[in-house]
């Protein structure tokens, strides 16, 4: 494998867009270079993807207006990537809908971002058993099917594509600039109603470049991405990063095929994998050492990496997992561990270009709430309560800053340690207890099972912690022993337990804490 050169972070130019960066990459590496493969086709060259991008962009531009938010209800396919790039080329804004979130969240997302048209596929809806949800969605918005769009690509369109656009792709398109809206993503709803997060071309391109400055990828890496494109981690790290740096990428439609994915990684010889602790834990159950022999860089994000998962990958595959951290609002990566100086238990250094302020919180003695700003920060939110009204980022630090809601501690070497989310603290007998600490104690006691903590009101102690667990034999005595071994106080050990066969999980791989709270209150 070719040696990776250190990349210095430089902010995107004022006229750059996803589409223009794609053209730059195509020019640099050539149209014949492999860009993607998916379950439908083993090879898409950059030239083939350009053709798909221009065709889909032209079709979408016929039925929508410039700068309109257009819903995309599609899985991880090359056609979805072409659709996103094509909209960007003609200054339409894809609103990436989370098809795993339920019909009400889909409806809320469309209201928040004022989506009038949603592009999807009949074949996908049938395969994913989403036809009933689509029917409900279709009562609020216009559903347009890719199959029908392709049938409407007439001879004049083909003449334009082959006789002009493919020859002069820069002239044929009308993309926005760096500060134009590039995409609307939606928060997972793990803590409430989804919000539309508006990311600019600048934010997405900056984050790609920031990640490349932090992790030295070589030109002949092979990515494997099963993270959904509707999620910021899947879009930026899983799709845009390899695509805009000339690296091949194998797309897969779901991260939930725990047995098949390790086999596909072995067959493809993939070297780079992004995922979540939940997904990595499940892959480890079914994979052999041979399945992951080709992997060189494996990065965990979106949720805290469980120590049991880290150890499983270390002992079974000889792979040291790299942990990172981010938020949809920051496109998404904020920090990642260096490959050569990985600090387990931390999420690494803040990326170049990210400014941070740690604001103390009364009752929390370690660290404070992290506020950030930088070129990868969102343009703002769209909320259901105020449809189509962009709410720019602001925090108590000032306008243009984003309050992550995460309590962090940054050590003397600049490594960021996540203490917990401010919303996921319980005030028990006057003490602030991180629910992530509770889950870590349970993970120490029963490392082969899943654990999730929630809170309920308690007349005597203010709040009480309820631990949901898939470990049938978990006891308070085991938890107390684990807490003592970790140096944690007894007050962080819950007194109430509820056994579940599996914890509810969102499509992004995160535990559905909203549902856990509902379950806790119903006990």
Domain boundaries, the chain: 13-189, 329-418, 429-521
What φ, ψ does residue 302 adopt, rounded to 5°?
A: 75, -25
Give Cβ neighbours of residue 303 (< 8 Å, ≥ 6 apart).
Answer: 276, 277, 278, 509, 510, 511
Fold of 329-418: Luciferase; domain 3 (2.30.38)
Task: Going residue by residue through the chain, which has 523 residues, state the pLDDT in tens, using 9 for 90 and above.
Answer: 444 455 788 889 999 999 999 999 999 999 999 999 999 888 999 999 999 999 999 999 999 999 999 999 999 999 999 999 999 999 999 999 999 888 888 999 999 999 999 999 999 999 999 999 999 999 999 999 999 998 889 999 999 999 999 999 999 999 999 999 999 999 865 556 789 999 999 999 999 999 999 998 988 999 999 999 999 999 999 999 999 999 999 999 999 999 999 999 999 999 999 999 889 999 999 999 999 999 999 999 988 898 889 999 999 999 999 999 999 999 999 999 999 899 999 999 999 999 999 998 877 778 889 999 999 999 999 999 999 999 999 988 899 999 998 889 999 999 999 887 777 777 776 667 778 888 888 988 888 888 989 888 876 677 888 999 999 888 888 898 888 888 777 888 888 888 898 888 876 677 888 788 888 877 6
CA–CA dist 255, 505 (Å, integer): 12
How far is Cα 213 from Cα 26, in angstroms, rounded to an integer?
Answer: 21
User: Taken in order 351, 354, 358, 364, is the CA torsion positive or negative?
Assistant: negative
Return the ∠ at Cα 318 (arms to 314 and 319), rounded to 5°: 70
The Cα 217–Cα 214 span in angstroms is 9
Strand ranges inside 360-401, DSSP E:
368-373, 380-383, 386-391, 394-395, 398-399
> What is the rounded distance in angstroms from the CA atom of residue 279 to the CA atom of residue 508?
10
How much is the pTM? Answer: 0.85
**In contact, 367 and 379? CB cutoff 8 Å:** no
326 bridge partner residues: 333
| Fold adopted by 429-521 | GMP Synthetase; Chain A, domain 3 (3.30.300)
Cis status, amide bond into 316, omega within 30 of 0? no
Of 129, 233, 137, 222, the C-alpha closest to 185 is 233
Neighbouring C-beta atoms of residue 359, cutoff 10 Å: 14
The closest of 423, 364, 373 to 396, measured between CA atoms, is: 373
* Closest by Cα among 238, 196, 205 to 221: 238
Q: Around Cβ 68, how many Cβ atoms within 10 Å?
A: 18
Instruction: Output phi, psi for 513, to 5 deg.
Output: -75, -25
Give the three-state DSSP class for 51: helix
| 143, 118 Cβ separation under 8 angstroms | yes
Which homologous superfamily is 13-189 in? ANL, N-terminal domain (3.40.50.12780)
The widest CA-to-CA distance across the chain, in whole angstroms, is 77
Q: Following CA atoms 211, 213, 214, 219 in sequence, which dihedral angle do they give, to the nearest 10 degrees?
A: 80
């Amino acid at each position: 494998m070719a040696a990776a050169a250190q990349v210095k972070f430089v902010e995107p130019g004022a006229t750059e867009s996803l589409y223009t960066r794609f053209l730059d990459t195509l020019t640099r590496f050539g149209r014949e270079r492999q860009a993607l493969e998916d379950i439908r086709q083993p090879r898409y060259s950059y030239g083939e993807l350009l053709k798909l991008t221009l065709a889909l962009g032209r079709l979408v531009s016929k039925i929508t207006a410039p700068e309109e938010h257009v819903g995309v209800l599609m899985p991880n396919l090359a056609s979805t990537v072409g659709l996103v790039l094509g909209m960007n080329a003609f200054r339409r804004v894809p609103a990436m809908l989370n098809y795993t979130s339920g019909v009400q969240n889909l409806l809320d997302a469309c209201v928040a971002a004022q989506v009038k048209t949603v592009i999807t596929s009949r074949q996908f809806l049938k395969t994913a058993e989403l036809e009933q949800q689509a029917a409900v969605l279709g009562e609020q918005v216009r559903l347009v099917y890719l199959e029908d769009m392709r049938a409407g690509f007439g001879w004049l369109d083909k003449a334009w594509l082959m006789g002009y656009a493919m020859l002069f792709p820069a002239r044929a398109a009308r993309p926005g600039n760096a500060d134009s809206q590039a995409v609307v993503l939606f928060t997972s709803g793990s803590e409430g109603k989804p919000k539309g997060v508006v990311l600019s071309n600048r934010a997405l391109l900056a984050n790609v470049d920031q990640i490349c400055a932090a992790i030295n990828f070589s030109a002949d890496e092979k990515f494997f991405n099963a993270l959904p494109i509707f999620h910021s981690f899947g879009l930026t790290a899983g799709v845009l990063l390899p695509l805009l740096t000339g690296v091949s990428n194998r797309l897969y439609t779901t991260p939930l095929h725990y047995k098949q994915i390790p086999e596909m990684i072995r067959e493809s010889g993939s070297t780079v994998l992004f995922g979540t602790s939940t997904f990595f834990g499940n892959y480890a159950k079914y994979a052999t050492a041979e399945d992951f022999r080709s992997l060189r860089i494996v990065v965990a994000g979106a949720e805290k990496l469980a120590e049991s998962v880290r150890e499983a990958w270390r002992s079974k595959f000889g792979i040291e997992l790299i942990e990172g951290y981010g938020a949809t609002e920051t496109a998404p990566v904020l920090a990642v561990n260096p490959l050569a100086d990985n600090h387990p238990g931390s999420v690494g250094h803040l990326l170049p270009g990210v400014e941070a302020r740690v604001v103390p919180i009364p009752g929390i003695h370690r660290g404070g709430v992290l506020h950030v700003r930088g070129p990868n920060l969102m343009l703002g939110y769209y909320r259901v309560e105020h449809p189509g009204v962009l709410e720019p980022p602001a925090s108590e630090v000032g306008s243009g800053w984003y309050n992550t809601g995460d309590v962090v501690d940054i050590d003397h070497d600049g490594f960021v340690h996540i203490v917990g989310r401010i919303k996921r603290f319980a005030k028990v007998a006057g003490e602030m207890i991180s629910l992530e600490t509770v889950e870590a104690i349970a993970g120490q006691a029963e490392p082969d099972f899943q654990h999730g903590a929630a809170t309920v009101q308690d007349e005597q102690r203010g709040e009480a912690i309820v631990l949901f667990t898939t470990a049938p034999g978990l006891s308070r005595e085991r938890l107390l022993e684990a807490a003592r071994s970790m140096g944690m106080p007894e007050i962080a050990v819950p007194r109430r337990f509820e056994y579940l066969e599996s914890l509810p999980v969102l499509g992004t791989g995160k535990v559905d804490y909203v549902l856990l709270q509902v379950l806790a209150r119903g006990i």
